Amino acid sequence: MPSLHKIVSLTLFMLLFFITNAQSKDESVLDKTSDDKTKPNIIFLMTDDQRWDNMGIYGKPEFNTPNIDKLATEGVVFDQAFYAVAICMPSRVTMLTGRYNSNHRVGFVAPDDYTLSQNDFTKSYPALLKNAGYRTGFIGKVGFTVTNEATRPSTPKEHFYKEHMGGVFDFFAGSETRDRQGHVTWPEDDIELKNIYKEGRQNSGRTLRTGEAMMRFIDTQPEDQPFCLSVSFYAVKHDNNQDMFMPHFEQFKSANMKAPENWVEGENPVLPDVVKENARGVYLHKQRSSTPEMYQRLVRRFATQGYTVDEQVGFLVEKLKEKNMLENTVIIYTSDNGRFQGSHGLFDKCLLYDESVKAPLIIYDGRMPESKRQRRENALISSVDMAPTIVSMAGLEVPESMQGRDISGVLSKTEDMSQWRDAVYMEDLFLVDMFKERYKDNVDEINQNLIKANKSYRSRGVRTNRWKYIVYYEHTPKIEELYDVIKDPSEQHNLVNNSEYTAVLEQLRAKTETMYQKAIN
């Protein structure tokens, strides 16, 4: 039998082991809690179809966006940010996944008309942050469909948000286009959230409901967990009363909204024929923005909607201050694409002129000293950079699937700018004639017939600090445009047939092809 001394020694050893092990576990829990508290909260704000210059901070004070302007003056304003694709569904998926449209192939028209698969959704920034311990939320317009496998067409008649997105978002208040039709909310036991969207409730429209849901998310946020909230406003897209808060219209109803230099009354004879004859923006301009009176009416209404969004941004910042969260929160403000509003004799988006592809981008990082924010930044930024940047800000490794670049070093002024990109790649894969046929079984045949008939205006191109190059690559012969955007920021003088610029043209042709090949691989 063991001696009493040995028994006591063994007992003491075991007791010490359990105490040390328990202490170690407690410390690891404390370390995890401490790590969670140092991770930044991230809020991604996206408007719908808001042109980059439709706000004061980008030189249009008549739009009256005081809260966005204040956020911008306290943060970093990016003056050279561009969309990799400038139409809502593929643009949203690009920012969600960090992948180019030609790569993820989620879009409105064949052959790139797939839904987003569950597998690809798990590699999006909300899913990655959710897996890392973040509380995640989504509010507003979804604009794309997640299915078990990537399927066609990408615009099904029904959406199953809880079934396909419930594992990624802890808090959800979203729909496809209207928050009173097909709208879904969870947690299911959040009565206050449900009441925000209650039918018959007297309030002031979708933008204010979106703002109220945003406040609800912040009010229900646990103190010991970081969060990532994506807010997708339905405004400023619609020229109707869905997003119009009429008291805000009072300040704009007689305002003189200055038309841009390249606004065209009526038709624009210098557009490429394939665009004039086939693009949706041409006939929409005739219907909506082709006279001074029509332009004023339209833009006053967009300004009203932008002001209502701006008010929600102000409420958000004040709520974060009230909760002592602002100093550890990153706020990113952008849109899903631009809009012509009569520039170039166009109304729509998609095409690769700057009014469509240039993005508003404001980033406020409460952790940064004022010396590194409160400034403007000229680095070339792409919308494909949004996902890898958010993932990196959360302290996570950026997955190989993401094709964009982490811009947090540019934001903090620690990036070696000699190694930064010298061009951004962009593409337009939308054809309105294909959109009209999207539910037919023979869409691929219809697509090939349009190409053979020379009716395709699909395009790709690059934007550098000085040059814009566009090629309509499915047209025979190919149609090209080249602009010196420093001398000609309104893109009015196509230099493609000027022999002085042959070397530049050849260089940008090669650059576009190289970037396209990288995009699809």
The whole-number pLDDT of residue 37 equals 60
The whole-number pLDDT of residue 226 equals 98
Q: Give one DSSP letter per residue of 228-260, joined into a string.
A: EEEEE--TTS-SSGGG--HHHHTTTTT---PPP
The whole-number pLDDT of residue 14 equals 47
HSE-up of residue 124 (Cα within 13 Å, Cβ side): 24
With contact defined as beta carbons under 8 Å apart, do 49 and 83 qualify?
A: no
Mean pLDDT of 91-107: 98
**If you average pLDDT over every residue of the chain, what do you get?**
92
Mean pLDDT of 132-147: 97
In which band, very low, low, confident or very high, does the pLDDT at 200 lie, cut at 50, 70 and 90? confident
The arrangement of strands across the sheet holding 424-428 comes to: 424-428, 459-463, 467-472, 479-484
The whole-number pLDDT of residue 33 equals 38
- pTM equals 0.92
Which pair of tokens denotes residue 471? 């090629």
In which band, very low, low, confident or very high, does the pLDDT at 241 lie, cut at 50, 70 and 90? low
- Check pLDDT > 70 for residue 483: yes
Torsion from C-alpha of 185, 189, 192, 193, nearest 10 degrees: -10
SS (H, E, C) 262-317: CECCCCCCCCCHHHHHHCHHHHHHHHHCCCHHHHHHHHHHHHHHHHHHHHHHHHHH
Question: Cis before residue 111, ω within 30 degrees of 0?
Answer: yes
* pLDDT tens-digit readout, 27-79: 333 333 345 668 999 999 999 999 999 999 999 999 999 999 999 999 999 99
* pLDDT tens-digit readout, 467-481: 999 999 999 999 999
Going along the chain from its start, the domains and CATH numbers come out as 40-418 (3.40.720.10), 427-520 (3.30.1120.10)
Mean pLDDT of 197-223: 91
Mean pLDDT of 388-393: 98
* pLDDT tens-digit readout, 247-268: 999 999 999 999 999 999 999 9
* pLDDT tens-digit readout, 392-437: 999 999 999 999 999 999 999 999 999 999 999 999 999 999 999 9
- Check pLDDT > 50 for residue 24: no
In which band, very low, low, confident or very high, does the pLDDT at 239 lie, cut at 50, 70 and 90? low
Question: E-assigned strands of 54-198?
Answer: 76-78, 81-82, 116-117, 135-141, 146-147, 171-175, 184-186
Helix (H) or strand (E) holding 56: none
- Check pLDDT > 70 for residue 18: no
